[in-house]
Structure formats: C-alpha cells, structure tokens
Structure 1
Amino acid sequence: MESMFGGLLSRLARVQFTVGYVAVLLAVSCAILVLGPHAHDILVQRASTNLHNLAHGHIGTLLGSAFVVDAGPLYFWLPFLTCLLVLAELHLRTMRLFLAFLVGHIGATLVVAAALATEVEVGWLPTSITRASDVGMSYGALAVIGAMTAAIPAPWRPAWVGWWISVGLTCAVMGADFTDAGHTVAVILGVLVSARFRQPIHWTQARMLMLVGSSGFGFLVLAHHWGTMAAAPVAGALGAFVAYKIVQRRSGRTVGPAPVAEDEESLSGQLPVLAG
C-alpha cells in the first residue's frame, strides 16, 4: 500500500503544473457556480484583461484571467484541457510547459490589447470594446499546442506547424473577433518558444490517443463557429501540405551527393602526375 502511494506521488510529481493549475481552475469554477450569476459577472469583469482594466493599472489580470474560465460546461472542457497539459508536461517537462503557457497567455493578451488600443485610437472600433470581457485559458492552451511542435517527430513538424497556423489564420479572418486573432497569436508564440526546446521524443499508443484528443480540443477552441469548422480543416490540410513540401524540397537541395569526386577525377586528369 505504501509503495502504491509512493508510486502515485512520483507520477503526480511529473505533472505538478497540470495538477496545480487544474485544481485551481476546478476550485474557482465550482465557487462561481455556487455563488451564482451575479458573482460570475463581477469576477469576469474584474479579471478581464480588457483595455479598461489594463489602462487603470490592473496588471494582475494578466495572470488572474487564466484562472477564470467562461467557456461552457466544466465537464466538457476541463478533461480535454487536462489531457493536453499532461501530455505536454510529460514531453516538455514542467518548466518548459509553464514557460510556453505563460508566454502564450500574456504575450497574446498584450498583442491583442495593443492592436485594440490602436484601432480604438484611430476610430476603427467603438470605445465600448475597451470593457469587453476577456478571460480564460484558451491563449495559454493554444500556446501549449504550438509548443508541442518540439515533441513531434522531425519529418512531421512542418506539417504540424503548417496545419495549426493555417487553421488559426483562417479562424481569425472568418471570425473577425479579437479573441480569434489572439488565439492565432498564441499558437504562433508557442511554435516560436518550441524552437528553444530540445529533448528526446518518446511516443506510446496512450500518448498518441492523448494527442488526438488534445488536437481536437485545440481545434474546437480555434474554430468555434460552424463556418470556421467547415473551412478550417481545408485550410489546415492545405497549409500542412505546402509546409511539408517546402521543407522537403529545401532539405532535398541541401542534402544530396556532392559532386566532389567527379571534380577531383576531372582535375586529376588535367594535372601532371608527379612521379618520385
């Protein structure tokens, strides 16, 4: 019994970020349900990383917003989010997962805020957008999807990156919402962060199934409208194919038989033979 308990603790230690973050999410979400709609509205308003809060110095919302999720039933999104974070933490390790999530969540938030502030300043958007609610884990989760590039076998990484960026751009254009643009930025930031990660890749059947579930979750976060759900797979497949072919062609040009031997033979026939 003691050995079983010790084994469980050692396994949980490998996914400590996931355990801690999911536990806080679960506690906050349950508290919101218990307190009711009014408390929910107040918490979302205060935790939102909108222009109004940021302009008034509420910098804490950059972190606090990641723990307030306003995205449908808890029983639907939490298991898939947990699956994604567990998979990423097993492959990337705890600190790298934390870095990818943090860069994606805060980075995408700041990029979106800067774009919205510019558009409001020039009159392209109404000032009411400055108080729009913007909470949740979606930026961080999609950055983790992008960071998983480091765990994808090298031959398939271009297709992986091409798929997610193409899907994100399609959803950002068709959705025409600032959160859709933020999702795309988060994916790109995750891919960029993954370029700094180096670790052995170890896939099992269970982890492959987790990847399928996590990818489906990421796709639904990006393409959350019927129109984008129809168009995004086509754009993603095209982007994956193009990216794969481009990298394949480049590697074919750089890796190949060098014509050194042929040149040496021709030169040896032209140079005089020095005999002793």
Structure 2
Amino acid sequence: MGVRSRCRLYKDQPGLVAASYLPGGDLADALRAAGDWSAKAKICLSFLARVRLAPLYVLVVVGIDVILSHAVSAEVRSQIVLANSTNVANLQDHRIWTLVTSAFVLDERAGVVAMIPLLLLLSVAEVLWGWRRLLVVFFASNAVTSCIVYGLLLTGVRGGWLGGAITIANDVGTSYGSHAVGGALALTLPVRARRYLVPLAVVVVVVPLLNGGTFTDVGHLLAVLLGFLAGWQMRRRPLAGHLHRPGQLRADQTVAYAFDDVTRARAGLITALRQHRPVRLDDAAVAWSDRADRIHVQETRDMDAIDGTLAGAAWGVVLGTFVGLPMTGLVIGAGAVAVVARWHDAGLSDTTVERTVHALPTGRGALLLLTDPAGQPALTRALARTGGTPVPDVDRNGVPSDQDPDQDQDGSPGSGRT
C-alpha cells in the first residue's frame, strides 16, 4: 500500500507494529502455555512436522559428497568442484548456474557428523519461518554473497591488488547460506537470547578476518550481514515473504475491525498475524486519525523505499553478474526498485484505509485485513477477544453502508466525527 498525494495518509515506521510479532511466535506461545517438560516436548515434536526442506537438502548434499568421495577419482572430483565454483573465471564466462550448484558441492569430504549442525540449524529455521522463507534466505543469500565476493575479487584483480590465481580458486559449499540463516535466526528467534546471539554471530565471522582471513571469510561476514537484513525484514514485514496459492485476493475482500485505541488495534494485529497459517492473510495494516485529521498507517506487507533498496540491490548485483558489472548492477537496482516501491500501491488500497478511518471517531484504531472470506469467521472470533468489532463496509464518503449519512455512529444526528 503506497502513499499517494490525494490521500492524507502518513506512513509510520512499520517496525512499531511488527516488532512484538516474530516468526515462531506461535511456538513460543505454545511452549509458555505448556506445563511440564513432557508437554513442552510434545509441542516441539508436533512443530517438527513443518520440517521438509532442511533434511531433503542435507540428504542431497551428503549424497553428492558420497558419490564424489567414492565413485570418482580425486582428479575428477577436483574438476567437478572447480566447474561449480562461484569464482571469477566461472562467473566471467557466464556460468551463472554455479550460484545454485555451488551450494550442493563440498570442497573436501565431509563426514555425516559434520552435517548434523547444518541439519539442526536449517530445521530450526524451517520450524520458525516455514520452508519457503528458508529457501529464499538460504539460496538468495548464497547467490547474492557470491556475486558481491565476485565483484570485490574482480575489482582487486583489475586493480592489481590481487594475483590472477585467485580467479580460479575453489568457492563451493554450504557456508554462505548457513551463515545467512544463522544471522537471520539471531534476529528472529522469539526469545530474549537474541540480544546475545546477534553480537556472537558478528564475533564468529570477524575473528577470522582479524587473523588474516581469506576471501571466503569476507563472504561469511557478508552472508551474516545479509542474514541480519533478512531477519530485520521478517520483523518489519511479517507477511512479505508469506506465499499463497495462485490467485491474489481482491480489494473488495478487505475486512476491518474497530478498537478503542491504537494500542488495542496493534494487539489485534499480532493476534491476526498468528492466525496467518490456518487463515489466508495477504495484507494487514493498523490505521488511525489524529486531531489534525491526518491518517496514520502502519503496514506489514507492502514495500517502502527501504525495502525496495534492499530488494533492488540484491537483484541488481545478481543481474549485473550476467554482464560482468555486479557492483554497478547493485547500485542501479537499488535506486530503481526503491523509486518503484515508494510509489507502487499494492495490497490494501489507500482509498479503503481512508474511508474506514473516517468512519470512526478520532482516536479509535482500525485494523484492516485483506483475507479470504472463508477465514473471516475465525479472525472475528479471535479479534473479539482483544476488543475488536467488525466495521461495516463504507461508501466513498466514509459512511458505513448500514448507517444514515445524517446520523452519528451512536444513532443521533451530527457531523459524523468527534
């Protein structure tokens, strides 16, 4: 939902709405409500049913490693590793597929025990985020990190600061993706421990650099930073990465709920967000008006200029790699998508928000949801416990469809706003 000049809307910091909702919040609530340790164990086991991608990916990596270790010679293995490396030579020759295949090939033989930490890390992320977000964070971060490292190495070689041998160095493995997932988890775990995990994640990747690290260590640092950005985006835009069945919801499937104040509306938003698995929820926003008749909106899905900059930079550096100009693509992509995101109006429309808020007295909060009609009864029951009451459809003048335009909302004649 963008901000247009025709609407007196003011987009507030979305983090103020979503900060108290974190991916995995439903698991944290269930564990807090559980009694003894056996009950907590049963809850954890039930949530493990969400794990699908993590064991499949680790199994494929282990299988490929076993084949390369036992079915082919050491020379052939070296050739396969080199052919799937995201090094300067391969990416300059437009072997773009290595941005994906490099995450499935290991430089050296790895034991099964060495894969257990990776499996645990990815499984925790999948339980908290779902497999789609894990897929995006792991593989997108692996690709973007590889492209940035490629751009830095290419600049170093062309400037004479690095030797030409580095252009054919091996650069494969799961480390870029796993470091990004670890960084994202550090910011999104619904526990207080994240205040310690974030600096710990930074220390883990900075110490090798202080001890004369390689370009791979630089990649690990970049991957963790990308993970931080991904985790930050999950907190700011908890619905942005939630993919649905084919077919988008229409604007006329918007439902609104009124609350006594903005604080209660935000609490209602958190309740609605935690219903997003069983209920199809495409967009959500809290809105209210102040005494100056300005409408303030806090959103959970649509991109703003900051989101556009980050997304554009990621796409730009990958597309720029196709033509050998990754860093130029990063800059151009960041600027172009930021402009588009700033003015693009998607999801909940500005007009719907304006009409709904103008139908309420000043100071009351409104929660607007773009949701499947089949899920509305469940949402209404859940939001009723937080003080939310459904708002009737409003016409273009901001008057509820079941209300006389010449009456206040209490049934008496008046101007319509207090």
- For residues 241-256 of structure 1, the aligned pairs below 5 Å read none
Report how many aligned residue pairs link the two structures: 191
Greater helix percent: which structure?
A: 1
The two structures, once aligned, show a CA RMSD in angstroms of 2.0
* Partner of residue 24 from structure 1, selected from 50, 57, 60: 60
* Partner of residue 107 from structure 2, selected from 52, 60, 70: 70
The one-letter code matched in structure 1 to 2:119 is T
Tell me whether 14-23 or 112-121 shows the greater mean CA deviation.
Answer: 14-23
Distance in 2 of aligned mates of 1:166 and 1:160: 10
Do the aligned partners of 2:187 and 2:198 also contact (CA within 8 Å) in 1?
A: no
> 1:107/1:173 Cα in 2 relative to 1: closer, same or farther (>3 Å)?
farther
Do the aligned partners of 1:108 and 1:186 also contact (CA within 8 Å) in 2?
A: yes
Find the counterpart in structure 2 of residue 158 from structure 1.
195
Find the counterpart in structure 1 of residue 164 from structure 2.
127
The TM-score with structure 2 as length reference comes to: 0.43
Distance in 1 of aligned mates of 2:186 and 2:129: 10
Cα distance, 1:19 vs. partner? 2.5
* Partner of residue 82 from structure 2, selected from 45, 48, 59: 45
Do the aligned partners of 2:51 and 2:126 also contact (CA within 8 Å) in 1?
A: yes
The TM-score with structure 1 as length reference comes to: 0.64
Greater strand percent: which structure?
A: 2
Find the counterpart in structure 2 of residue 94 from structure 1.
131
Aligned residue for 1:197, secondary structure, equals helix
> 1:16/1:71 Cα in 2 relative to 1: closer, same or farther (>3 Å)?
same
Cα distance, 1:195 vs. partner? 1.0
Cα distance, 1:151 vs. partner? 3.5
Find the counterpart in structure 2 of residue 196 from structure 1.
233
Aligned residue for 1:96, secondary structure, equals helix
Structure 1 residues 202-233: Cα deviation after superposition (integer angstroms, max 9, x where no partner): xxxxxxxxxxxxxxxxxxxxxxxxxxxxxxxx
* Partner of residue 50 from structure 2, selected from 10, 14, 25: 14
Find the counterpart in structure 2 of residue 118 from structure 1.
155
Distance in 2 of aligned mates of 1:86 and 1:179: 25
> 1:48/1:188 Cα in 2 relative to 1: closer, same or farther (>3 Å)?
same
Tell me whether 58-67 or 18-27 shows the greater mean CA deviation.
Answer: 18-27
* Partner of residue 217 from structure 2, selected from 155, 180, 196: 180
Structure 1 runs not aligned, ≥5 long = 1-9, 201-276
Do the aligned partners of 2:48 and 2:127 also contact (CA within 8 Å) in 1?
A: no
Tell me whether 125-134 or 93-102 shows the greater mean CA deviation.
Answer: 93-102
* Partner of residue 140 from structure 1, selected from 172, 177, 183: 177
Find the counterpart in structure 1 of residue 347 from structure 2.
none
Distance in 2 of aligned mates of 1:30 and 1:185: 30
Distance in 2 of aligned mates of 1:166 and 1:82: 22
Cα distance, 1:153 vs. partner? 3.8
Structure 1 residues 39-94: Cα deviation after superposition (integer angstroms, max 9, x where no partner): 21111010011000000010000001000012443223211211111111111211
Find the counterpart in structure 1 of residue 26 from structure 2.
none
> 1:155/1:67 Cα in 2 relative to 1: closer, same or farther (>3 Å)?
same
Cα distance, 1:13 vs. partner? 5.8
Structure 2 runs not aligned, ≥5 long = 1-45, 239-269, 271-418
The one-letter code matched in structure 2 to 1:178 is F
